[in-house]
Amino acid sequence: VSIPFDDRGLLLGDGLFETVLGVDGRLVWLDAHLERLEKGCATLGLPAPDRAAATRLMGEALAGVQAPRAAVRLTLTCGSGGRGLDRPVAPAPRLFATAAPSARPEAPARLVTAAVRRNETSPASRLKTLSYLDNVLAREAAREAGADEALMLNTRGEAACAAAANIFWVDRGRLVTPAIACGALPGIMRAAVVAAARGLGLEVIEAHAPPQALAGSEGVFLTNSLIGVRPVAWLDGRDLPQSPMVERLASALD
Amino acid sequence: VSIPFDDRGLLLGDGLFETVLGVDGRLVWLDAHLERLEKGCATLGLPAPDRAAATRLMGEALAGVQAPRAAVRLTLTCGSGGRGLDRPVAPAPRLFATAAPSARPEAPARLVTAAVRRNETSPASRLKTLSYLDNVLAREAAREAGADEALMLNTRGEAACAAAANIFWVDRGRLVTPAIACGALPGIMRAAVVAAARGLGLEVIEAHAPPQALAGSEGVFLTNSLIGVRPVAWLDGRDLPQSPMVERLASALD
């Protein structure tokens, strides 16, 4: 239950994680999470973990939680290395899982636009990495401003995501979400929402859009594996309209 | 000698480090390093470590190295926290030190410009944080291209720094280095070089400059606490001139 001082995940943020929803002892969307983790390993040049070992670790962590809903976090570090930035020739990743109760938020989210931008020039902007300090800072600034999540723009000023969620909005009956190239995580719930919306016959657009698109939309919502679909009540102090489409999508996914 | 699974430095890269040169049992520029760490803690909203405790940890780590020159790394994590991005109300940082032999590189550096940009919109771009994955990726790409360090531009395309060093160049007899606002670390050796240059009567400019300024300069060099002043031999496959000023500054600092 601990990590040595020479681990590159600890020293340099060199590694990845997944956060999986556990419901009544079951790991939701498990295959999609493991697949994304494997793709992330390929991007970072790390060996992918053994699926059976990862599943076992998560199952053990989940079994220790006395709650119907849990957040199960699988963490993969690059493993031990020598001094400095250079990776060892053959990295030997470490894998561990932790879990905690995770209640679904009851209230809609309140967003504040973060000063720190999402660095879409980095592959890390499309991965859940152990280098998450920008997200921590964005979230913290949002909370200090009386909100509970941050809207993150990328360095070109386009809407990218929230600090720990993907973002969607409704524009003239169409569903819009930032393109992955904006610096957005290819969220498991993001993909599920896109599929559900198309299943309902809705048009879905992956866009490079300014933040004004959200302020002027028919409704904004967040998605991630833990919260599912969560409406956004206000952005930077201004109330946002509530679109019936958000409720419709949430119901389609339940 | 290990860190628990719930440490936010490990899970989110929420923390800072310093790399201090140890020579013959002495920690070089120790006060400047501790001062920078304290400023970083203030920026991130973390309690600063006790100076005596930090110095003792580094001294113990240095004492274990059987080499005249050592790299002593002091790592401060945000400490344990609950699930997710939100920090605990009163973070209790962890502090530890490690050390390894560190020979001065003999050869000049070869640089390749990194595709991943330095995110100057983030306070983290001016700190040595545990979220260093972008630097790891930049270094790795440089090595794959046959170089040994990366030139990092910021998101506006201005020269910012190397993956693990500040960068300087000589322009018509003046010394130029990217402004901190470009996303450069306020390096201890960077400050020492600026002071030494001014002591020698040289003009020093902190600039927002395109990378072409380096390619067209009279000489380029890197600085950090471990390497001191290191000339750059080539950039993106093109030989760079060697300025006598680099040798002069290196001598002034020895």
Asked if residues B15 and B131 have their Cβ atoms less than 8 Å apart, the reply is no
The model's pLDDT over B117-143, given as tens digits with 9 standing for 90+, comes to 999 999 999 999 999 999 999 999 999
Confidence of residue A254 (pLDDT cuts 50, 70, 90): confident
* C-beta atoms of B85 and A139 within 8 A: yes
Does B2 have pLDDT greater than 90?
A: no
Interface with A, mutate which of B3, B136, B156 (most A CBs under 10 A): B136
Q: How far apart are CA B142 and CA B222, in angstroms?
A: 15
* C-beta atoms of A132 and B135 within 8 A: no
Q: What angle do CA B152, A209, A111 make, to 5 degrees?
A: 90
ipTM: 0.97
Q: Which amino acid is at A175?
A: L
- Whether B77 and chain A come into contact, CB under 8 Å, resolves to yes
What do you get for the CA distance between the two ends of chain B, in Å?
Answer: 35
Residue of B9, B102, B164 with shortest CB distance to A10? B9
Residue of A nearest to B14 (CA): A133
The model's pLDDT over B36-83, given as tens digits with 9 standing for 90+, comes to 999 999 999 999 999 999 999 999 999 999 999 999 999 999 999 989
A75 token code pair:
């963490």
Question: What is the value of pTM for the model shown?
Answer: 0.97
Chain A neighbors of B86, CB-CB under 8 A: 139-140, 143
Interface with A, mutate which of B11, B14, B44, B133 (most A CBs under 10 A): B133
Q: How far apart are CA A224 and CA A228, in angstroms?
A: 5
Chain B neighbors of A114, CB-CB under 8 A: none
Asked if residues B155 and B136 have their Cβ atoms less than 8 Å apart, the reply is no
**Over chain A, what is the mean pLDDT?**
97
Residue of B124, B139, B155 with shortest CB distance to A86? B139
Chain B neighbors of A77, CB-CB under 8 A: 10
Q: For the packed helices B244-253 and B188-199, what is the interaxial angle rounded to 10 degrees?
A: 110
* C-beta atoms of B85 and A163 within 8 A: yes
- Three-state DSSP state, B1: coil
The model's pLDDT over A35-87, given as tens digits with 9 standing for 90+, comes to 999 999 999 999 999 999 999 999 999 999 999 999 999 999 999 998 999 99
Q: How far is B127 from chain A (nearest CA, A)?
A: 11
Task: From A27, A103, A10, select the one nearest A61 (Cα to Cα).
Answer: A27
Asked if residues A145 and A112 have their Cβ atoms less than 8 Å apart, the reply is yes
Q: Is B29 left (phi over 0), alpha (psi -120 to 50) or beta?
A: left
Q: How far apart are CA B130 and CA A36, in angstroms?
A: 23
To which H or E segment does residue A246 belong? helix A244-253
Average pLDDT (B95-123) is: 96
Asked if residues A98 and A64 have their Cβ atoms less than 8 Å apart, the reply is no
Residue of A2, A45, A86 with shortest CB distance to B2? A2
Confidence (pLDDT) at B75: 98
Residue numbers of A between 117 and 156 with CB closer than 8 Å to B:
117, 119, 121-124, 129-137, 139-140, 143, 155
B165, β-bridge pairs: B162
Does B1 have pLDDT greater than 80?
A: no
Chain B neighbors of A113, CB-CB under 8 A: none
To which H or E segment does residue B71 belong? strand B69-77
Q: How far apart are CA A123 and CA A186, in angstroms?
A: 12
A107 token code pair:
């209230």
